Amino acid sequence: MLTRLCRLGLEVKYLDAAREFYETRLGLVPVEESDAAVAYGVGETTVVLRRPVEAPRGGVHTHYAFSTARDDYEDWLSSLSDLDPAEFSFGASRSLYVYDPDGNCVEIGGIDGDAPTGGMANEADPDPQSADRPLTGVFEVVLEVTDLGRAEAQFRALGFEVVDRGEKRPRVRLGGAVDLELWEPQLGIADARGGLHVDLAFETADPEAAVEAGGPWADGPEAVEGGLRVRDADGHVLTFLADC
């Protein structure tokens, strides 16, 4: 039903400090910017940094994951070593975890195949080294929920499928347009927390059908350009778009 993660919105207090991290340390290049927000294209997903001056605000202390090529993972680990990254292995894949200036836990996972030859040739890239080890997409977002069973049922109604469950802590991993981890309040790897009022936008062939399938909603639907927006019982904002 949901075919793609179009947008992940993050709340930032000071846009300049956030941009310094995402552009200088991670090598992202703005595709759109204003006095209150800046957007970056990362694979098929737009990551938006947004000051809390209007709704939707963007997620607070969100834990989410960028993908990169396995061959590039060591370079990322080296370049971010001054941030004292935590590290964890998932079978053949490895991930590092660092924090941005606003307390979002940023994971970089070496999950893709061979690194692309030539990297991202972009003259606007402030860090030439990052052009040789690009971030290729967003593959995971963690949401904090108050009732795991209710939240799981709602996202499964939207087409997500259970991939894994926590044995010691109340959490579930869902696969779909993006991997979603639903956590009741807890600390994860690198003491990460699930995001609060996270702003997610998904592509779907029929926004009205998605709203109906996932309902009832705490608020909405509200008509927005290209689709419909709702808010779930945990305050997460979901937008269903016919075209990203």
183 within a domain of the structure (yes/no): yes
What number is the average pLDDT over the span 223-242? Answer: 97
Query: Is residue 134 in a domain?
Result: yes
Judge whether residue 128 has pLDDT over 50: no
Q: List, in order, residues 6 or more apart from 29 with CB less than 8 Å away.
A: 23, 40, 41, 122, 124, 125
- Span 7-66, pLDDT tens digits: 999 999 999 999 999 999 999 999 999 999 999 999 999 999 999 998 889 999 999 999
pLDDT digit string, tens, across residues 139-170: 999 999 999 999 999 999 999 999 999 888 89
Residue 225 belongs to some domain of the structure: no
- Look at residue 64 and tell me if it is in a domain: yes
Give the pair of three-digit tokens for residue 224: 């927005």
Res 117 pLDDT > 80 = no
Q: What is the 3-state secondary structure (H, E, C) of the chain?
A: CEEEEEEEEEECCCHHHHHHHHHHHCCCCEEEECCCEEEEEECCEEEEEECCCCCCCCEECCEEEEEEEHHHHHHHHHHCHHHCCEEEEECCEEEEEEECCCCCEEEEEEEECCCCCCCCCCCCCCCHHHHHCCCCEEEEEEEECCCHHHHHHHHHHCCCEEEEECCCCCEEEEECCCEEEEECCCCCHHHCCCEECCEEEEEECCHHHHHHHHCCCCEEEEEECCEEEEECCCCCEEEEECCC
CATH number at residue 235: 3.10.180.10
Q: Is residue 207 part of a domain?
A: yes
pLDDT value at position 120? 32
Look at residue 223 and tell me if it is in a domain: no
User: For the chain, how many structural domains are there in total?
Assistant: 1
Domain membership flag for residue 124: no
Parent domain of 58: 2-119+129-218+230-241
- Give me the pLDDT at residue 177, please: 96
**Of residues 192, 188, 190, the one with CA closest to residue 168:** 188
